Amino acid sequence: MTPFEQADVWLFQLVNLRLVHPVADDLMVFLTRGSLSWPILFIAALFMVVQKGRQGVLILLLALLSVGVADFIASGLFKPLVHRIRPCFALEHVRLLVTQVYSYSFASSHAANSAAVATTAWIFFHRGGALEKLFSAFMILYAAGVAYSRVYVGVHYPGDVLAGMMIGILSASLSYLVLSWIVKNIVQPRLMRREQSGNG
């Protein structure tokens, strides 16, 4: 094991075996299982649309695009490339709190996807009023909770979720920059030309 891998295993065992509590068990399973925590994302999507109207629909679509990019990078590229075995299959004495099929560990797609949504929310809402600031902060905390839960329940190393969060942040940022460039350099000029031809 490299020093990085040793530190990763040590941190995993600290979170998974020592920093535990029955109440935290229930919370972490709730956060890590999308079949349980989906209402949080549904309410977040509803907030985006209600708060921003038509722009909220575009924000929601951008969030979905960011999740797609993040998931592809984490699961479609890194996992087949790195072939890192999950800690619940590689280590002894792991507290496995969820059912987990045998698959690769690096990078965490859960962490990547939740970070992509949180980053999109932060981009569009952190400069708004108190309610929008609170929403963006909540989404960041939710993403951090999802990432932490993946270690707590025994299916990822800390390095997996850190990499996943970085992938999610970069995916959302890149999706936003690309969309902004398209709107500024392609969509807006075409709309201006149509308006000018219509007025002419």
Instruction: Profile the chain (200 residues) by mean pLDDT over runs of 10 residues.
Output: 90 96 95 91 94 92 96 96 95 94 94 97 94 96 97 97 97 94 84 72
Residue 36 domain flag: yes
Residue 1 domain flag: no
Rounded Cα gap, residues 190 and 200, in angstroms: 15
Q: Give the domain range for residue 52.
A: 25-195
Cα angle value 159/137/42 (rounded, 5°): 90
* Domains identified in the chain, total number: 1
Residue 119 domain flag: yes
Please report, to the nearest 10 degrees, the dihedral formed by the alpha carbons of residues 127, 130, 135, 138 taken in order: 110
In terms of DSSP H, where are the helices of 97-129? Answer: 109-125
Q: What is the pLDDT of residues 41-56, one digit of tens each?
A: 999 999 999 999 989 9
Residue 2 domain flag: no
CATH of the domain at 52: 1.10.606.20
Bridge partner list, 104? 85
Give 155's DSSP letter.
S
Residue 179 domain flag: yes
63: its two tokens: 């969030």
Residue 91 domain flag: yes
Residue keyed to tokens 């560990």: 105
Q: What is the pLDDT of residues 149-181, one digit of tens each?
A: 999 999 999 999 999 999 999 999 999 999 989
